Homo-oligomer: A and B are copies of this chain.
Amino acid sequence: MKDAGKNGGTAGKTLGAQPAVKHSRIQTRNRKRILDAALEVFSAHGFRGATLDQIAAEAGLSKPNILYYFDGKETIHVTLLNQLMETWLDPLEQMNPEGEPLEEILAYVRRKLDMAQAYPRESRLFANEILQGAPRMGPHLEKRLKPLVDQKAALITEWAAAGRIAPVDPRHLIFSIWATTQHYADFEAQVNVLMPEGGVFPGAATYLEGMFRRMLKV
């Protein structure tokens, strides 16, 4: 029922998605088209709300042709999620233990907000997945996200202990950064109703910088 197809089991399952094997010119191009289309459709309708026909139409390919490139709907979704996780982790990874604590955290807020603005579809895809209880992402959260968060939380705790920022629960701090920045992407439909039309992001950037600066100032 699953795992038909292309990749003979060369190495073990990498948890990653990319086949990591052969990729002809046209393969690369069409896989990308499909993933682009799938991002558009999945982020707008969720996993079950999206149909292969929609993705096919968006990608400009036929449905069977899409299934020539990917094992099935679920495989496409998982591939997208795995790719996304790396992009998503990056801004947090950039938080530098050697830097000035307050500025490092504020820069992180800034990067997250920039991502919400630049990649709202990715944000929504992720939000959809977590909202449904992370059915296809559980392991990834454990294996990739948790260690990174643990590490950065320890760093923030050190900074606080050294009196370089105000004492805070590092995990709740991180949650509040995620929540406030991603809100502008995930709840865009609501934000657009409530904000007097026109770029909300500049105002958001100012507001959030002010808020987290006050929060962390010793």
Contacts and interface: CB of A to CB of B under 8 A. Distances in A.
B211 A130 contact: no
Contacts of A128: 46, 131
A132 B45 contact: yes
B194 A145 contact: yes
Contacts of A214: 166, 214-215, 217
Contacts of A179: 179-180, 182-183, 187
A207 B134 contact: no
Nearest to A134: B189
A4 interface: no
A48 interface: yes
Interface string A186-218: 110111011100000001101110110011010
A166 B211 CA distance: 11
A171 B187 CA distance: 14
A146 B196 CA distance: 11
A166 to B, nearest CB: 8
Contacts of A183: 175-176, 178-179
